[in-house]
Amino acid sequence: MTRYLLRRAVWTALVVWAVLTLAFIVNNVVPSDPARMVAGAQARPRDVDRVREQLGLSQPIAVQYGRFMRRLVHFSTARRGDASGPHGACATLGWLHLDFGKSYQRRRPVVDIIGERLPRTVMLALAAMLVQVVVGVGLGMLAAAKRGSLIDHASVGASLLGVSAPTFLLGLLLQFVLAHKLRLLPLDGYGSTAAEHLACVVLPALTLGVAGAAYYTRLVRDELISVMKLDHVRTAIAKGMSPARVWFRHALRNALVPLITVLGLDLGALVGGAIVTETLFRWPGIGALSVSALLDRDGPVILATVVVTSTAIVLSNVLVDASYALLDPRVKR
Amino acid sequence: MIDPRATRRFTRHRGAVLGVALVVALVAFALVGPSIAARSAYESDFVSGATAQDTPVGPSAAHWLGTDRLFRDELARLAIGARISLVIAFAATLIATVLGALVGVIAGYFEGSGGLKVPMVTLAGLAVSVAVTIAGHSNFALAIGAASLLAGYAALRFAAGSRAAASLRVNADTALMRLVDVGLSFPFLLLVMALGAALDRTSVATILLTLGLTGWLGTARVVRARTLQVRALDFVVASRALGQSTWRILLGHILPNVAGPLIVISTASVAQMILAESVLSYLGVGISPPTPTWGHMLFEGQDLYLTAPWMLAAPAGAIVTAVFGFNLVGEGLRDALDPKT
């Protein structure tokens, strides 16, 4: 197991590095001028050149890439120090330094921006996950237990419709009904106190959660129906075990393996930033940051969001694979 | 070729029949819609399309679905949007399915096969050499790279079986699947925006290629998993033993046996592509205006939903109907081709 995890860790680092390098190349071949964006449309050519020099954009791409990679992960005994110092833009963990440079537009260390936004995205992701699992597993079990009934057909139909609605449409609809008409929840934003954060997370979490729940309902239903046909379940029923115990202990546990797979991958994707939902509800997380960075051509921030997104996805893949070994005794590495 | 039982299962599936009806209606609308709509999708109608307050008019005899904020006919725009949506979805799915099937079958078939043995010594040496290049000493890096290649050769040639010969196998499967890993974790939006910026103006072809060239990754994974099952079957082993060429086995034996899941995935993929295109145009990185797209029409409609609800309802209804229709067909196909559940 340890060797397996070690090998996966090496692959994870390689994949993230490849994605980062690709993103660096894509970002640099795009014919746009970040220096012009920073200096402003009215700036004199001389000033644009000065900004370009300051940002280090006048050097060849290979040199810029070298500098970026050298700074990204380095070891130093130095403390972070003040913002203009040599390690002013680093996130430090002992001697290990992580440095994405400074944002062109926001003039702040990128690690600070990410550090501020990542917890919010994680909060949204966890809230959405909660909706997905509770609604999805609940409806799925109900549909499987009452197979062929009206509830079953309704939940299958609703789940297919839920998968077919684009997130932005679902979000608009929820926003219109719950925030605009009924005035139950804030329209968008993040709020400034913990209570406000909680009120604000409900709508985007519902938006993300409903689409996901639709998929989970289907998955749990189909899986439970096929598990309920297996011999060990029939034996359990025949020996007089209570239905609740059969469902939860013998059926649901078996249906958990495919659920965990999808769940892990979804969590990875959500932590990487739900771009549309975050933009729609003005939730200041990683997804909204990546869109604004792309529109501003803010190179360091773009690359940092790419790293966060790809790391989240790749790590969730590894976690899913590792969890098989824990959940399913048949899987042996 | 086609199992009559599967056909019967499909035609008796109520959802599938409804899905086919929706899809046929949509295709018909995309084909003839632009010509039934009495007005042009690009011209403003200031006479019967605008109210006295200069707001768009609602559904009327002249404009069946009303007009948008520039007083252009909503029905005509919706029909052009349907054309664009369908062309992109079908073409992108075709690209994604062909690529995904090819990569998946090849990767699955060669899983665990010999491939290239890369000694760890070489890997470590090359990593150091890359690091040294980055640090700015390219001559030194070249020397380290050459030395590590030599050391790797020596390890494989003379130290077989010992610890020094520890190596990583890179075959078609690992190479392709790691490529899929990279692709799946690459932010798709960055690619689209980069392409859009590079080409100055985003066209149907740009979006279609981007969606197609990024959409095959998931397909490849599923096809690979299925290929792993099929290649272990007796008739595949037999044809290998009889000396059939690898290409014939792949195309003649493996591909037909992964066709079922492939058809199901590609139908669902059409739905996904319609959604993806609408998300891109909603975010403003899709096909550039004035070409009407459903996503952009919805974006324009969302600010005016109190005064002109038809501007929101028309594209929203179109997107949901289209995606729902293809999803229903996919569902029916799954039940027909894979009757286990």
**Per-residue pLDDT for chain B (341 aa), expressed as one digit of tens each?**
567 777 888 777 777 888 888 889 888 888 887 777 666 767 777 666 667 677 777 677 667 777 777 777 778 788 888 889 999 999 999 999 999 999 988 888 888 776 677 777 777 777 777 777 766 667 777 888 888 888 877 777 776 666 666 667 777 888 888 888 888 888 777 777 767 666 666 788 888 888 888 888 888 888 888 888 888 888 888 888 888 888 888 888 888 888 888 888 888 889 989 988 888 888 877 787 788 888 888 888 887 777 777 778 888 888 988 998 998 888 888 878 775 54
> Do residues A48 and A83 share a domain?
yes
Neighbours of B70 (CB within 10 A): 16
Percent of chain A residues topping a pLDDT of 90: 4
User: Which of A108, A134, A155 is the last residue before a domain boundary?
Assistant: A108
> Do residues A204 and A319 share a domain?
yes
- Residue A142 falls inside a structural domain: yes
> Do residues A36 and A128 share a domain?
no
Name the minimum distance, in Å, from the CA of B323 to any CA of chain A. 5
Euclidean distance between CA atoms A309 and B122, whole angstroms: 30
> Do residues A53 and A70 share a domain?
yes
Among B134, B184, B271, beta carbon nearest to A69: B134
Query: Tens of pLDDT along A13-56?
Result: 888 888 888 888 887 777 667 777 777 778 788 888 888 887 77
Q: Which residue of A has its CA nearest to B270?
A: A164
> Do residues A59 and A129 share a domain?
no
Euclidean distance between CA atoms B89 and B280, whole angstroms: 13
Question: Tell me, what's the pLDDT at B98?
Answer: 93
Euclidean distance between CA atoms B48 and B36, whole angstroms: 18
Among B185, B305, B324, beta carbon nearest to A160: B324
What value does the mean pLDDT take over residues A226-254? Answer: 83
Question: Tell me, what's the pLDDT at B208?
Answer: 86
Among B135, B187, B340, beta carbon nearest to A290: B187
> Do residues A189 and A246 share a domain?
yes
Neighbours of A319 (CB within 10 A): 15
Q: Say whether B277 sits in a helix, a strand or coil.
A: helix
Extract long-range pairs of B250-257: CB within 8 Å, 24+ residues apart. B250/B105, B250/B106, B250/B109, B254/B105, B254/B108, B254/B109, B254/B227, B254/B230, B255/B101, B255/B105, B257/B226, B257/B230, B257/B233
User: Which of A108, A125, A159 is the last residue before a domain boundary?
Assistant: A108
Euclidean distance between CA atoms B340 and A202, whole angstroms: 39
Name the minimum distance, in Å, from the CA of A131 to any CA of chain B. 22
Q: What are phi and psi of B13, to 5 degrees?
A: -80, 110
Cβ <8 Å between A31 and B198? yes
Q: Which residue of A has its CA nearest to B305?
A: A176
- Residue A14 falls inside a structural domain: no
- Residue A18 falls inside a structural domain: no
> Do residues A127 and A245 share a domain?
yes
Q: Could you tell me if B327 lies within 8 Å of chain A, comparing CB atoms? A: yes
Question: What number of C-beta contacts closer than 8 Å exist between A and B?
Answer: 107
- Residue A45 falls inside a structural domain: yes
Domain count, chain A: 2
Residues from chain A contacting residue B191 (CB–CB below 8 Å): 26
Query: Is residue A332 predicted with pLDDT exceeding 60?
Result: no
Cβ <8 Å between A66 and B134? yes
> Do residues A135 and A176 share a domain?
yes
Q: Which residue has the higher pLDDT, A316 or B188?
A: A316
Residues from chain B contacting residue A31 (CB–CB below 8 Å): 197-198
CA nearest neighbour of B335 among A312, A85, A222: A222
- Residue A26 falls inside a structural domain: no
Cβ <8 Å between B194 and A279? no
- Residue A24 falls inside a structural domain: no
- Residue A321 falls inside a structural domain: yes
> Do residues A70 and A135 share a domain?
no
> Do residues A122 and A86 share a domain?
no
- Confidence band (pLDDT; 50, 70, 90) for A333? very low
User: Which of A62, A78, A108 is the last residue before a domain boundary?
Assistant: A108
Among B133, B190, B279, beta carbon nearest to A23: B190
> Do residues A64 and A203 share a domain?
no
Question: Tell me, what's the pLDDT at A331?
Answer: 58
- Confidence band (pLDDT; 50, 70, 90) for A299? confident
What value does the mean pLDDT take over residues A97-116? Answer: 85
> Do residues A273 and A177 share a domain?
yes
Q: Which residue of B has its CA nearest to A316?
A: B185
CA nearest neighbour of A315 among A94, A137, A122: A122
Question: Tell me, what's the pLDDT at B91?
Answer: 93
Cβ <8 Å between A30 and B305? no
Show the DSSP H helices in A30-149 as ranges.
34-39, 45-55, 61-72, 110-145
Among A30, A226, A275, beta carbon nearest to B194: A30
Substitution target from B190, B192, B213, B306 for chain A, most A beta carbons within 10 A: B190
DSSP string, B281-318: HHHT-SSPTTS--HHHHHHHHHTTTTT-THHHHHHHHH
- Residue A15 falls inside a structural domain: no
Query: Tens of pLDDT along A251-278?
Result: 888 777 778 888 888 888 888 768 888 8
Question: Tell me, what's the pLDDT at B37?
Answer: 64
Domain that holds residue A315: 111-331
Q: What are phi and psi of A96, to 5 degrees?
A: -80, 120
Among A30, A306, A317, beta carbon nearest to B187: A306
Substitution target from B118, B177, B181, B326 for chain A, most A beta carbons within 10 A: B181
Q: Are A295 and A23 in contact (CB under 8 A)?
A: no
Q: Which residue has the higher pLDDT, B149 or A327?
A: B149
CATH number, domain containing residue A197: 1.10.3720.10
Furthest-apart CA atoms within chain A: distance in Å: 87
